[in-house]
Amino acid sequence: GAVVSQHPSRVICKSGTSVKIECRSLDFQATTMFWYRQFPKQSLMLMATSNEGSKATYEQGVEKDKFLINHASLTLSTLTVTSAHPEDSSFYICSARNPYEQYFGPGTRLTVT
């Protein structure tokens, strides 16, 4: 099946710094990628939809200036958490869609100290 990778798998950063998370579709082109966030012991919540070559669409309550999404190519989307704070600590999961199905990445554990 299709493979989606995320990098890094886990990252620890200090409060106030920015962190970039990459999501790559390794063997297919993804016109659409989705970013989800999962807090401990909770379900996945959609943050934003990323379309190649256009601005991301953010869900209500998600700050677009804090969570910057760039979908520069058909195989790469990046999520940058700007001026991270401890409450941003979470598990971030991306998914990439081809015409037939969505495929999930393994997730990135962000811890902000």
Nearer to another protein, 59 or 63 (CB): 59
Question: Is position 24 an interface residue for another protein (rule: CB under 8 A)?
Answer: no
42 is a site residue for another protein (CB under 8 A): yes
**Cα–Cα distances in Å, from 83 out to 5, 28, 59, 105?**
25, 33, 20, 24
- Asked if residue 8 binds another protein (CB under 8 A), the reply is no
Shortest distance, position 87 Cβ to another protein, whole Å: 20
**Residues 6+ away with beta carbon under 8 Å from 4:** 23, 24, 25, 26, 94, 95, 96, 103, 104, 105
Residues that bind another protein (CB under 8 A): 6, 32, 34, 36, 42-46, 49, 91, 93, 95, 97, 100-102, 104-107, 109
